Structure 1
Amino acid sequence: MESMTGYAFIEASTEQFSYSVELKSLNSRYLEIFVNLPKLLKNEENELHNLMKRHFSRGKLELHVDIFDWNVTRPISINAEMIKKYYRELRQIHDELGSAEPLRFESVLTLEGVSQRERSVISRTSRRDIYTAVGRAIEMAREMRNREGATIKKDMGALVMEITRHLGTIKTISKNAVREKKDSLKKRIEAVLGSTVDEVRLYTEVAILADKLNVNEEIIRFKDHISKFASLMKSRDQIGKKLDFLAQEMFREINTIGSKSSSSEIAHAVVDVKNHIEMIREHCRNVV
């Protein structure tokens, strides 16, 4: 069993710069992948998206890669022809104006187009290092998802055991409920009529009442759902939605049991079972 909640953060350096890789995994009905990259890595977005898709089948995944603290300075290129052109033009204007101020060469270097800082390029080694870090982040996030999945599995197993125990209690109480209703009905009729009750008529009424109070079918179906639920928890496939569906069916059965019974003990057991099922459904929403 795998949870959809995971996290990984890696910070390292290449020969060119320092970088960080952050991967967040949250629960979602489907597989949603968001890749946030610096401008220099935008061309890698599709490949990183496919890499994530190969390792995850469900959940909302957010991958963030950041680059900072460059170790190398971007080289600057000088446009010699542009400098000569600027200088000739400025010299001509300077002479025409007859300015006493000397024409300084450094003033030419500040003009537009004279120098240009070359665009940074990520080397193959740096690219490989980033992909290695992303791969490690995926492993770390999956390890966390598996650890949490194991915890969820253990917790759900304990909840199922509690539900099974409550079902046993409900079954025992419901068997005695018909007998108690018969004795109660007999006493009430005798108190009203003041005479012995017709046993045949009494058993007919009790049979009708017993049919209304009988929860045996619901308990059988409930146990079948529990059996399927326990079997499904052992699977390594996508089981979150299937488990949630079975939990809904369990809730439907316990609702019917509660509506049929007038016993306070059964009512309390039903409340506990409903609470356990809700806790199971919360877990199911975070299972792949």
Structure 2
Amino acid sequence: MIQSMTGYGKSVVTYGDKKINVEVKSLNSKALDLSARIAPLYREKEMEIRQMVAGALIRGKVDFSIWVEREAHADATPVNKVLVENYYRQIKDISAATGIPEPQDWFSTLMRMPDVLLKTDVEELCDEEWKVASKAVQSALENLVDFRRQEGEALQKKFEEKLDNIASLLAAIEPYETSRVEKIRMRLVEGLKKIPEAEYDKNRLEQELIYYIEKLDINEEKQRLANHLKYFRETMAEGAGVGKKLGFIAQEMGREINTTGSKSNQAEMQNIVVKMKDELEQIKEQVLNVL
């Protein structure tokens, strides 16, 4: 079963007072185009994260995010109360000694003073926490791959439908193809009859007619197109990672359809070719989303 390059996956785990969130989104791209937003604590693991993403997703424009939420009490930075009181007394003393008015907003003034907010130690990532976080990353990637499979299943059904339509249209050409030989012959003979003084060798006319018909013969194009339709189906059955290959096959299908159209000298045949091109164009549009 083929996979789409469009997908979404998310995972949330807890570690102590932390809630670790991982979110991964992907769209179609010719190669792996990874954009990663990583919480400061996990930046030392960025290369490992990128390897995990590349191994799971292979290709696509990927937007990866990992961030941490904490309990409200854990986020609060401690205030140095002793230092605040000290600043307060000093400012009041300076105001009384110099006559400078005291601040209107004491709280804002005091909170802007140096070292009022206590500095906390730099947090280090421990092996236990990274083990939990890496499982969250893996889970989000697995969810995205599942999403891709579901999208791929829908794409494959769409492709099967379009391939069937092209095969039916290809078969619909045959009646017009077999009757056009006689139509061409009659048209040439009628044209010659309109010129009474014209003399021609019937055997030579038949030879020229055969040569002309051979130039318009589309049996080879029909056979190659049928082979391409079969090969497209077989390639889809190979599974994920065949998007580029399917794109190449679709291009070859287009060449055969175009050649058939250029050799079709009947309006009915040309109308069928136009319908085949429309079906193929829909395949080409969607094959860009296949992994």
Shift of the 243–249 alpha-carbon distance from structure 1 to 2, 3 Å rule, reads: same
- What residue in structure 1 maps to residue 289 of structure 2? 286
Number of aligned residue pairs: give it: 276
Cα separation, 2, equivalents of 1:115 and 1:268: 78
For structure 1, the residue ranges without an aligned partner over 5 or more in a row are 98-108
Superposition pairs for residues 238-249 of structure 1, below 5 Å?
238-249=241-252
Residues 20 and 65, structure 1, Cα contact 8 Å, conserved in 2: yes
Q: Provide the alpha-carbon RMSD of the alignment.
A: 3.5
2:46 aligned with 1:42, yes or no? no
Shift of the 184–208 alpha-carbon distance from structure 1 to 2, 3 Å rule, reads: same
Larger mean Cα displacement after TM superposition, 174-183 or 122-131: 122-131
99, 106, 118: which is aligned to 1:116? Answer: 118
TM-score, normalization: structure 1?
A: 0.82
2:4 aligned with 1:3, yes or no? yes
- What residue in structure 2 maps to residue 189 of structure 1? 192
- What residue in structure 2 maps to residue 153 of structure 1? 156
Q: Give secondary structure in 2 for the equivalent of 1:22.
A: strand
2:176 aligned with 1:179, yes or no? no
192, 217, 221: which is aligned to 2:220? Answer: 217
Cα separation, 1, equivalents of 2:200 and 2:116: 116
Residues 10 and 22, structure 2, Cα contact 8 Å, conserved in 1: yes
Shift of the 201–193 alpha-carbon distance from structure 1 to 2, 3 Å rule, reads: farther
Residues 218 and 253, structure 1, Cα contact 8 Å, conserved in 2: yes
TM-score, normalization: structure 2?
A: 0.81
Cα separation, 1, equivalents of 2:154 and 2:13: 31
Cα separation, 1, equivalents of 2:187 and 2:200: 12
Q: Give secondary structure in 2 for the equivalent of 1:170.
A: helix
Cα separation, 1, equivalents of 2:55 and 2:248: 27
Shift of the 130–72 alpha-carbon distance from structure 1 to 2, 3 Å rule, reads: farther
Residues 41 and 125, structure 2, Cα contact 8 Å, conserved in 1: no
Cα separation, 2, equivalents of 1:154 and 1:120: 54
Residues 35 and 48, structure 1, Cα contact 8 Å, conserved in 2: no
How high is the sequence identity, in percent, across the aligned residues? 28
How far is the alpha carbon of 1:123 from its aligned partner? 6.3
2:220 aligned with 1:235, yes or no? no
Q: Give secondary structure in 1 for the equivalent of 2:118.
A: strand
Cα separation, 2, equivalents of 1:246 and 1:75: 61
146, 161, 166: which is aligned to 1:143? Answer: 146
Shift of the 41–263 alpha-carbon distance from structure 1 to 2, 3 Å rule, reads: same
Cα separation, 1, equivalents of 2:189 and 2:36: 74
Residues 3 and 240, structure 2, Cα contact 8 Å, conserved in 1: no
Q: Deviations over 1:132-186 (max 9, x none)?
A: 2222211111001011111111111111111111111223322221121112211
- What residue in structure 2 maps to residue 206 of structure 1? 209
Residues 250 and 280, structure 2, Cα contact 8 Å, conserved in 1: yes
Cα separation, 1, equivalents of 2:42 and 2:53: 16
Residues 17 and 71, structure 1, Cα contact 8 Å, conserved in 2: no
How far is the alpha carbon of 1:205 from its aligned partner? 2.3
Give the letter aligned to residue 252 of structure 1: R
Residues 221 and 256, structure 2, Cα contact 8 Å, conserved in 1: yes
How far is the alpha carbon of 1:128 from its aligned partner? 3.6
Residues 10 and 137, structure 1, Cα contact 8 Å, conserved in 2: yes
